[in-house]
Structure 1
Amino acid sequence: MTKPAITLPLLFILLTLIDISSCASTVFNVVSFGAKPDGATDSTAAFLKAWQGACASAASATVVVPTGTFLLKAVTFRGPCKSRLQFQVTGTVVAPTDYRAFGNSGSWILFANVNKISLVGGTFDARASGFWSCRKSGQNCPPGVRSISFNSVNDVIISGVKSMNSQVTHVTVNRCTNVVIRNVRLVAPGNSPNTDGFDIQSSTGITLTGSTIQTGDDCVAIGPGTRNFLISKLACGPGHGVSIGSLGKELKEDGVENVTVSSSVFTGTQNGVRIKSWARPSTGFVKNVFFQDLIMKNVENPIIIDQNYCPSHQGCPTEPSGVKISQVTYKNIQGTSATQQAMKLMCSKSNPCTGITLQDIKLTFNKVTPATSLCSNALGTSLGVIQPTSCLNR
């Protein structure tokens, strides 16, 4: 099987090799526009003024957020802009403590319709404990906001950023191309609801490397329309692992293809690597996926395909999933499972999984009881030593 090429335009790759700080020649410091580094004064207007100045600059420009703590309400940094921009954060950006201040805005910090943008450094603290308490109590709560979002943004670098205590997803990438994410840390308590690390959808040419995600939901959620996505050197846990899906929620839905997850460690997560789809008709698909060189440490479901996904277990759809899963390779995956069933491949009855490859798998449960596997409608090949014993059908 040939490994898919994860390609980015040559020019963009060359740009990422250059010290990005040297690209900016014009500086717009938010303090010069009235921002106060006291953590209490609303600095939203000052941030927007600095952005507007940088966006209008004919030369490459940098928005600087210096040392200190800056209070920021819901804000959209919108393009198109005239030149390459860098958003350089040394200090800490905090959200209002009252979660109701966001209303139904959907995002705390949104970058939209911008090309050639770098977000470098800094800590972003959404201070969402009040929102989580509201959700857990069953009250009538707002839907929550994503901490940092990129919508219709191209040629992006996200580097050295720390996001803490998001209401829901930490970082969303939607309808973007050529995105490099490196050395990022996303942190929320393991019991915080729906706090995905990264949500990626309808995007092409994404590289995520050298990052740590500790959160209450998926470390990385890969949604419909995602292509050419490379994840490497990821430390995930606590959380729900790396998930392709959920897919098949809509009848007409784009697929996911050319995804590689490699050289990563999962610690105490609910899942390791997962593909999940609803059990209903769909035009969606998953193909050309490589999970390789992974370590599982006390993971509940190290390897799982679930085409009967229904987290609430109420009103679940009962038709076979229309999402077609093919050409998925699991290679050199080792470690410990927190449950006896270490490998579970439950595929669609009407669209069986095909081209599944298991190679050099060693997953153990405990010293006394061996790990087991369970397959349904999963067709493929086993190579090398497979532990637990392969349940694939040829």
Structure 2
Amino acid sequence: MDLRSLSCKSCIVVIFLLLLVNDVRAYIPTKRFNVEAFGAVGNGRTDSSKAFLYAFTRACQFNGYSILLVPKGTFLVGPVVFKGPCRGPIDFQLRGIMRAPAGAVGMDHWISFRYIDRLMIYGGGILDGRGETAWHYNDCSRNSNCQSLPVSLRLDFVTNSVVRGITSLNSKNFHMNIMGCTNLRMERLHIIAPAESPNTDGVHLGYSEHIRISDSIIATGDDCISLGPGSKNIEVLGVTCGPGHGISIGSLGKYQNELDVSGIKVRNCVLDGTDNGLRIKTWATSLKSKVHDITFEDVIMNNVYNPIFIDQQYCPGGNCDNSVSSSVQIQDVMFRRIRGTSKSQAAVNLRCSRLYPCKNIKLADINLSYKGPANTTCLNVQASAWGLQKPDLGACI
């Protein structure tokens, strides 16, 4: 048999199989579940929690592709837990507004999705956390036994999923908390809370991997994005942050058996008027773990305090033992093409552990201006620098 003929026949078989797969996908059973059909009322006053839960239960049990629709209107909901596993992929199409109950509700979540594979949350709608009714209850800065306020959106053990094109407004605590998740894309998000709102981190991640946060605007009262223990292979791309506390890794080292943080890439972001820029923070008195394989590149700073900041004496309450040095090892960190303006004289501030000095910190093409002469602070760090060095990085090398 002619080899070219055999090759041609093989191509035809492959094309046929691809067409067959696409055809099968097109005929997966699909069903829409409108929350109003289950008793939800979009008047902003009627508690629709039971209707949402019933609609989700039916959608989750459907043996096919289900779409849970939240139509235009304002729906008072929560706290609610949407728990899988589900029989098929599920879309949560948020077109209207979901409004949280007023005040502190005594739970760690408002809306929670758990143990779901192939979840898609989208639709251009709004999660209104009504944080203004609860922020005055937040006394954690002065009370170690304080009760945490609810996170607006929790994703726990969610896999192969997407959160796209929604707005989170005025969360009582974190806007979004991602825990134990794998293969998650978060894109075109709009996250808003006043600069003075306490603990309103935009997106917090922990014990999750292969997560991408992209093309989003985050303006909050705390970290725009914070990466906690166990964050692995995380990409932050095209995020505009401010006001807020910048993009942070940490805080780390507070609890026993924390997993390492690695494979973090922050690229093409803008930080505007934030209290910190690109920050790695570990508790002054900390337990052992490691931060490594970190890249920050192509980031613009507009009037930012501490644009480049490693803080291994993090102690927000001010009651730490400064004689003890951090046990978190930071190594293999690249800062490349970081440019803009600093609001603090110390544009580059690397304060590493005496016990475990930072290793292999690289700074390339740094261009940060201050209204006067900017400076650099480096303690217990092994670093190298090349390309443009503004401010002068001699103290770090």
| TM-score, normalised with respect to structure 1 | 0.90
Does residue 389 of the first structure (1) align with residue 392 of the second (2)? yes
Which residue pairs with 2:153 in the alignment?
148
Which residue pairs with 1:67 in the alignment?
72
- 2: CA distance, partners of 1:263 / 1:183: 15
Name stretches of at least 5 consecutive residues in structure 1 with no aligned partner. 1-19
1:336-355 map, 5 Å: 336-355=341-360
Does residue 374 of the first structure (1) align with residue 368 of the second (2)? no
Q: 8 Å contact 2:60–2:84 — kept in the other structure? A: yes
Once the two structures are TM-superposed, the CA of residue 321 in structure 1 deviates from its matched residue by 0.8
1:35-74 map, 5 Å: 35-74=40-79
CA deviation vs aligned residue, 1:75-134 (integer Å, no higher than 9, x gap): 00000110000000100010112x13x22x100000011111011131000111121123
Which residue pairs with 2:313 in the alignment?
308
Which residue pairs with 2:11 in the alignment?
none
Matched letter for residue 180 of structure 1: R
Give the match's secondary structure for 1:301: coil
Which residue pairs with 1:108 in the alignment?
110
Distance 1:187 1:23, change over 3 A: farther
Matched letter for residue 304 of structure 1: F
Q: 8 Å contact 1:375–1:392 — kept in the other structure? A: yes
Once the two structures are TM-superposed, the CA of residue 252 in structure 1 deviates from its matched residue by 2.6
Give the match's secondary structure for 2:307: strand
1:123 corresponds, among 120, 126, 145, to 126
- 2: CA distance, partners of 1:201 / 1:173: 6
Which residue pairs with 1:6 in the alignment?
none
Give the match's secondary structure for 1:271: coil
- 1: CA distance, partners of 2:321 / 2:218: 30
1:87 corresponds, among 78, 86, 92, to 92
Matched letter for residue 111 of structure 2: I
1:190-209 map, 5 Å: 190-209=195-214
Distance 1:303 1:84, change over 3 A: same
Give the match's secondary structure for 1:133: helix
Give the match's secondary structure for 2:215: strand
Distance 1:378 1:168, change over 3 A: same
Once the two structures are TM-superposed, the CA of residue 37 in structure 1 deviates from its matched residue by 0.8
Which residue pairs with 2:170 in the alignment?
165
Which residue pairs with 2:258 in the alignment?
253
Q: 8 Å contact 1:283–1:322 — kept in the other structure? A: yes
- 1: CA distance, partners of 2:382 / 2:159: 38
**How many corresponding residue pairs?**
370
Distance 1:382 1:141, change over 3 A: closer
1:319 corresponds, among 311, 314, 324, to 324
Which residue pairs with 1:4 in the alignment?
none
Give the match's secondary structure for 1:181: strand
Matched letter for residue 297 of structure 1: N
Structure number with bigger Rg: 2
Q: 8 Å contact 2:201–2:225 — kept in the other structure? A: yes
- 1: CA distance, partners of 2:341 / 2:194: 23
Once the two structures are TM-superposed, the CA of residue 180 in structure 1 deviates from its matched residue by 0.3
- 2: CA distance, partners of 1:311 / 1:23: 52
Q: 8 Å contact 1:380–1:392 — kept in the other structure? A: no
- 2: CA distance, partners of 1:237 / 1:175: 27
Distance 1:174 1:84, change over 3 A: same
CA deviation vs aligned residue, 1:321-369 (integer Å, no higher than 9, x gap): 1111011000000000011111100001111111110000000111xx2
Which residue pairs with 1:9 in the alignment?
none
Matched letter for residue 374 of structure 1: T
Matched letter for residue 227 of structure 1: K
Give the match's secondary structure for 2:134: helix
2:285 corresponds, among 260, 280, 301, to 280
Q: 8 Å contact 2:376–2:395 — kept in the other structure? A: no
- 1: CA distance, partners of 2:194 / 2:274: 13
- 1: CA distance, partners of 2:168 / 2:43: 19
- 2: CA distance, partners of 1:276 / 1:153: 27
Matched letter for residue 303 of structure 1: I
Distance 1:179 1:317, change over 3 A: farther
Once the two structures are TM-superposed, the CA of residue 393 in structure 1 deviates from its matched residue by 4.7
- 2: CA distance, partners of 1:273 / 1:57: 44
Once the two structures are TM-superposed, the CA of residue 320 in structure 1 deviates from its matched residue by 1.1
Once the two structures are TM-superposed, the CA of residue 297 in structure 1 deviates from its matched residue by 0.3
CA deviation vs aligned residue, 1:215-242 (integer Å, no higher than 9, x gap): 0000001000010000010000000000
Does residue 175 of the first structure (1) align with residue 180 of the second (2)? yes
Once the two structures are TM-superposed, the CA of residue 280 in structure 1 deviates from its matched residue by 2.6
Q: 8 Å contact 1:24–1:62 — kept in the other structure? A: no
Q: 8 Å contact 2:377–2:396 — kept in the other structure? A: no
Q: 8 Å contact 1:379–1:392 — kept in the other structure? A: no
- 1: CA distance, partners of 2:28 / 2:179: 26
Distance 1:26 1:392, change over 3 A: farther
Distance 1:187 1:135, change over 3 A: same
- 2: CA distance, partners of 1:318 / 1:245: 21
Matched letter for residue 371 of structure 1: A
* CA-based RMSD: 1.9
| TM-score, normalised with respect to structure 2 | 0.90
- 2: CA distance, partners of 1:68 / 1:22: 32
Once the two structures are TM-superposed, the CA of residue 316 in structure 1 deviates from its matched residue by 4.2
Structure 1 range deviating more: 243-252 or 310-319:
310-319
Matched letter for residue 65 of structure 2: S
Runs of 4 or more above 6 Å deviation: 20-24, 136-141
Which residue pairs with 2:20 in the alignment?
none
CA deviation vs aligned residue, 1:276-325 (integer Å, no higher than 9, x gap): 00123422111010000000000011000000000111244641111110
Give the match's secondary structure for 2:239: strand
